[in-house]
Structure 1
Amino acid sequence: MRKLEPASIRYKNPGAMWGSPIAIKWGAQKRAVTLNDGKGQGNNIAVFPTYVQGICAQLDLWRTSKNYRNKRFADAIAIWSGHNEVPSYIAFCKARVPGLTENTVMNDAFWSGPSGVAFLKAQAWHEAGKPYPAPDADWIEAQRRVFAANPAKLGVGATTTTVAAATATATATAAVSATVTKGAHEGWGWEAWLIVAAAVAAAVAAAVCAAAVWRLWKRKAAARPQLASTASEAQARYDAFSLPSAPEAELAPKQARKSAVRARKPAAKKTARKRKPAQEVVA
């Protein structure tokens, strides 16, 4: 009997995701397939028509789910794996994604660059127990589609803060100027001028704070990775990204033999369990 490919490859689901609203959003069948993986956790897997759609769902789940968005890598991967063999999962990904650590924050700055694609590929390899067969172009196209559908919100908070500070400074300066003019015409005493001096000091402090916030935001903006504007530019960036070699021989025997799919906690677990997924016996 011919040995079946791992479920994550057969169903074009590189993250081995459960059936969920996010999976359906990216074209998965409404009925997930139940897996007899020997873990006794009632695991199932979403079925996608193409690799690109499966990768889109994988990335979208990382970006939008409260379980993973903006979390530390070590914390997020523990949830993704259903707390199964977490240390080996972390080590596997770190060996294949340059610069990845347990404390890496899985945010849009990470996902929009080459490290994001490298991580998705490493995760797919780990889930399948072998290098995932989707071509490089599919990973890059999926990244483009996901960010096109839901653009990265980078630096919005800093921009808002800067504008608010600048507006407050301008308002305070105008008020002080008007007050000084009025006092000069009306011949105010020293008490009134003391109040004016305090107001001037407050305006200066506001201006200094606004300038500091602006400089900080500019530094962060300069260091922030920018999405490629075209598929060819994205491909060029990925080609220039240095990935360490990681032959399959590095895999521990136990890890190489283990099931391709880990337990998942879907975004809408209750909804997923109400369905009656088709049964499948994995040979």
Structure 2
Amino acid sequence: MTAATPLLKLNNGVEMPALGLGVFQSPPDETTAAVEAALRDGYRLIDTAASYGNEKEVGEGLRRSGVDRADVFVTTKLWLSDYGYDSALRAFDTSLAKLGLESLDLYLLHQPAPLEPEPWFAAYKAVEKLLADGRVRAIGVSNHTPGLLRTLMEQTDIVPAVNQVELHPYFVQGELREVHEKFGIATQAWSPIGGITRYRAQAPNGGRSVLEEPVVTAPAEKYGKTAAQVVLRWHLEHGVCAIPKSVKAHRIAENFDVFDFTLTPDEVADIDALDTGLRSGPDPEVIKLDTFGTR
């Protein structure tokens, strides 16, 4: 891993970079160049998913970058339509083939399915087998609440290494992070800069931007950084792995330039105080296998 990137040790001893590139909603025809640019700039974590439709392009970007595969932490996710034991194993093979890889660093269940739990549990048991077989270095989940984490762990054997969730200054997930700490689960933030609160029409504070908050802009001016860089630094101060998305080369480079300054405890606390407790993404408690249709 690049020396510039702090590493988080997962509960099975595997190390994961604390900052990566997410490619949710990155058009396939722009994903390859984005991944290549990110790896050139020093990123060593790339996060994709079967449902994003760009696994093939992520793999191509990795190959074009010239960075050794062993130095890049690659994550993808199992979609709801492939939940179940055998179907999960087949979907994993499909993702590997699209990525052009022989193994993964992290494989996640993309969503919980509490209203149809048996396929959800079976999918995680399949992922446990992939870990036992050495086909993936770590396993975990995405979008699981404290209660859903406990439900899943009661039915399965391996504590997730990672839970990737909506997390930004307007939704700090304090209770969830306490549960993660108790069980040694790493917290990974999607929409870490709070873009979902601006772009999703049904977001409770739609249109409001954390990048315009004085408690963010003041440190940005103080440290000669952008507001987005301050928010990403806030994640790092909390020990949260952030995976901001961009397909713009200058923005990708900017998002990675956050290792040469730190926030004071008071600055972190001021940003924490922006929390509304309101989720902008889908409610994990009511997700069904057909909630989002097929991928």
Same fold (TM over 0.5): no
Which has the larger Rg?
1
TM-score scaled to structure 2, two decimals? 0.27
Point out which structure has higher relative CO (alpha carbons under 8 A, 6+ apart). Answer: 1
